[in-house]
Amino acid sequence: MYRPPLISVRDLSISFGRTTVVHNLNFDIAAGSTLAVVGGSGSGKSVTSRAIMGLLPDRIGRATGSIMFEGRELLTLPESELQKVRGGRISMIFQEPMTSLNPVQRIGDQLAEVIRIHRGLKGADLREAVLEMLRKVRVPDPEARIHQYPHTFSGGMRQRAPNVCGWPATPH
């Protein structure tokens, strides 16, 4: 039985001004599979990921072609709809996690904000969801960790924590 790919990228080109940095990229990713993207510095790996997530810099970054995710065209999806997909259905683990975390806000508060937005939880249910997310990514002692700031987490924990439930592109 044929199953369409979870994500299908066709003829993706990414430009900044007059400079095209990614030319006609094509790939599919089936549900449950992994795609490794390798290349030298400046080869377009991160910018391709940002285009898929709808996180290219406003007014200067432009993506053309097609990015289908779960049967929906992401390149033409209105921002309000893309926000529901981003974080709720697809997320990106950034190479440098400190760019994703607000250094003056506790980890638990940052995770709670995303869960509240995407799942509408409040109170004790919200707290339990935050703890469960940290447990899923094996952050030790999540009950204590939710009260800590990003600089107290190891690099690996900082990378895992913001991506357990999706995350915005930049700190608040």
pLDDT in tens, 80-136: 888 888 877 887 766 665 667 788 999 999 889 888 888 889 999 999 999 998 998
Same domain as 63, residue 21:
yes
**Number of domains into which the chain is organized:** 2
pLDDT greater at residue 65 or residue 171: 65
Q: Per-residue pLDDT for 141 more than 90? A: yes
- How high is the pLDDT of residue 169? 36
Same domain as 104, residue 62:
no
The pTM for the full model equals 0.66
Select from 44, 77, 110 the last residue of a domain: 77
In a domain, 83, yes or no: no
- How high is the pLDDT of residue 125? 96
Q: What angle do CA 96, 90, 79 make, to 5 degrees?
A: 95
- Domain membership of residue 124 as a residue range: 97-163
- How high is the pLDDT of residue 92? 75
Select from 15, 48, 77 the last residue of a domain: 77
